[in-house]
Amino acid sequence: MTLLQFRSEDARIVYLATIYHLARPGAEARAVSSDAGGQGLQAIYDEVLPRLNQAVVEIEASAQQILGLNEALLGVANELKQFGIANGRTMVPRFADALHEMFPETRDDPGIALDLVQHPVMLRGRLAYAIEQAQREVAAAEVAAEEAQRSRKKWWQVWKQG
């Protein structure tokens, strides 16, 4: 587990990213099944939501959760662009309400969402080391699982490939 620290503004972007992620059909089922701890971004959502008004929000996250958050930040950046260009329309359930709650100025001028795109992009930059470390950890776990699978073969099955 890695300790992630978010400033208040970053925590609001993480909240929007989790809203975006949780709205995708099946995203959480895949995350929970592939995460060793059995938690996807729902756990991060549950941690961030009650502490949005704090100056700094600290969250423990697994490697899978960090990778999921990375993808969600990319998605929320794209959704903010779409929201601004489409004059406040979105196909993501609860996204518009959450965006208006986090950034009230977008209620009157949806184009302001285009100005917010820089925040998830910069947050990904600040999380780059944690993301790289999570990618290495997940890759190492996959290699270990493959090795364990190979070692379970019976002696008479040596001719079978991976």
The 10s digit of each residue's pLDDT in 113-148 is 999 999 999 999 999 999 999 999 999 988 888 888
The total of other beta-carbon atoms located within 10 Å of residue 88's CB is 17
Q: Of 160 and 58, which is predicted with more confidence?
A: 58
DSSP designation for 37 = T
| pLDDT at 78 (0 to 100) | 94
Q: Which two tokens stand for residue 123?
A: 């947050």
pLDDT value for 156? 61
Q: What is the Cα–Cα distance from 73 to 41, expressed in whole angstroms? A: 12
pTM, 2 dp: 0.81
Stretch 83-102: mean pLDDT: 91
Are 160 and 28 a contacting pair, CB within 8 Å?
no
